[in-house]
Amino acid sequence: MENRYILGIESSCDETAASIVKNGCEIVSNVVASQIESHKRFGGVVPEIASRHHVEQVTLVIEEALAQANMKPEDLDAVAVTEGPGLVGALLIGINAAKAFAFANGLPLIGVHHIAGHIYANALMQPMEFPLLALVVSGGHTELVFMKEHGSFELIGETRDDAAGEAYDKVARVLNIQYPGGPHIDRMAHESDEAVKFPRVWLEEDSYDFSFSGLKSAVINYKHNAEQRGIEVNPLHVAKGFQDSVVEVLTAKTLRAARQFNVKQVIAAGGVSANKGLRKSLEETFANEGIPFYVPPLKLCTDNAAMIAAAGTFMFEAGKRSDMAMNGRPGMELVSWHK
Ligand code: KG4
Ligand code: ZN
């Protein structure tokens, strides 16, 4: 096969990113401009501020991705960009940059689903083996996705309320911890040897769905009750109690699904898959089970454009193309591209 070089662009939330990937599996360059600092004082992502940052950064990150790769636009085969889901104003900046770049350089354009991107971050580390089960856990998503082959996605479970990362960020806020709270709660949980006992939400016995809003409320109630009684709340114990509950439920449901669907590989993806407690729990569980388990290195777990370029390459090879009418799709569903 001829070498394929795909430029990926990602701007769905609070990172502006561009990356060049070779053959869908090798990172040539990977540039991420994070806006986290600008959103911290608001305790979350402010869409208007995000869009403004993307406008300022998008051309720079694309130029930087080309410079780091020591490549010119004519060396590329296509441009892949996050089409959705995400903040519409933020998505549109990346999409318009991608359209302009593709048009100016005569390159095909490919719209990529953000979650397909997170899943395909794994293709940058080792070949994906099918049938495969992906646990996708991010600020906006908590999903179990079954894949029988490349480009085939079957949603077997999802959150009915908050996403796992959203629950992390909300609990962090209750504990007066800065946005994004996930990494802080993770660190605090590891510093604690005691845990407050919070509920595990299993839903119906055979369900692969998740629910985290009750757990979040349990943390809030625990804090209020303690405060009313004048008992001091130890944030480390709360962090560990919360994390133990999230990790136990995510691990158990992923294991049950992996067994039922008889998969050859289990992967984790999305910002929360950077969580040390979750990684350890999944690694141990699947080592015992004898099913290969993979999770990308931390910087490929959170939002980046290499994952978009990787997914875009597999779409490119499957003949998928978008046209210049592409629009930001904030509620885009993950549909299979497999023919
Ligand atoms: O995938 P991502 O970068 O953006 C979305 O697509 O949402 O995920 C961001 C989410 C945030 O909620 C953040 O708190 C969470 O991932 N996160 C973590 C950790 N690192 C990032 N949650 C738990 N533990 C971590 N170590
Ligand atoms: Zn993401």
pLDDT at position 44 is: 80
**Residue 211 CB coordination number (10 Å):** 18
Residue 41 pLDDT exceeds 80? no
pTM of the model: 0.95
- Does the CB atom of residue 272 touch ligand 1 within 6 A? yes
Per the CB < 8 A criterion, the answer to whether 182 and 165 are in contact is yes
> How close is the Cα of 302 to the center of ligand 1, in Å?
6
pLDDT for 339 equals 61
Residues in the annotated binding site: 114, 118, 136-140, 169, 182, 186, 275, 303
Distances (CA, A) of 97 to 16, 59, 102, 114, 262: 11, 7, 8, 17, 42
Using an 8 Å Cβ cutoff, are 15 and 308 in contact? no
List pLDDT tens digits, range 187-211: 999 999 999 999 999 999 999 999 9
Q: What residue's CA is closest to ligand 1, atom 21?
A: 271
At 172, phi and psi to the nearest 5?
-60, -40
pLDDT over threshold 70, residue 331: yes
Q: Give per-residue pLDDT as tens, 93-112.
A: 999 999 999 999 999 999 99
Residues 48 and 90 sit within 8 Å (Cβ to Cβ): no
pLDDT per position as a tens digit, 113-167: 999 999 999 999 999 999 999 999 999 999 999 999 999 999 999 999 999 999 9
Instruction: Quote the pLDDT of residue 14.
Output: 86
Q: Is 204 helix (H, G, I), strand (E, B) or coil?
A: coil
- Mean pLDDT, residues 218-230: 96
Which of 27-41, 145-159, 251-265 is least confident?
27-41
Ligand 1 pocket member 271 (CB < 6 A) = yes
Does the Cβ of 24 fall within 6 Å of ligand 1? no
Ligand 1, residues 190, 250, 272: which to mutate, most atoms within 8 A of Cβ? Answer: 272
Sequence-distant (6+) residues with CB within 8 A of 195 are: 237, 240, 241, 244
Q: Which domains does the chain have, with CATH numbers?
A: 5-120+300-317 (3.30.420.40), 130-295 (3.30.420.40)
Query: What is the model's pLDDT at position 255?
Result: 98
CB 15 within 8 A of CB 82: no
Q: Is the shortest distance between the CB of 139 and ligand 1 below 6 Å? A: yes
Distance between CA atoms of residues 137 and 330, nearest Å: 18
Query: Environment class of residue 48 by beta-carbon count within 10 Å: exposed (0-12), middle (13-18) or buried (19+)?
Result: exposed
And the tokens for 299? 């910087």
Q: What is the pLDDT of residues 52-62, one digit of tens each?
A: 888 899 999 99
Show Cβ contacts of residue 206 under 8 Å, excluding neighbours closer than 6 positions.
none
Cβ–ligand 1 distance for 186 under 6 Å, the answer yes
pLDDT of residue 51: 87
pLDDT in tens, 283-302: 999 999 999 999 999 999 99
With 90 as the cut, is the pLDDT of residue 35 above it? no
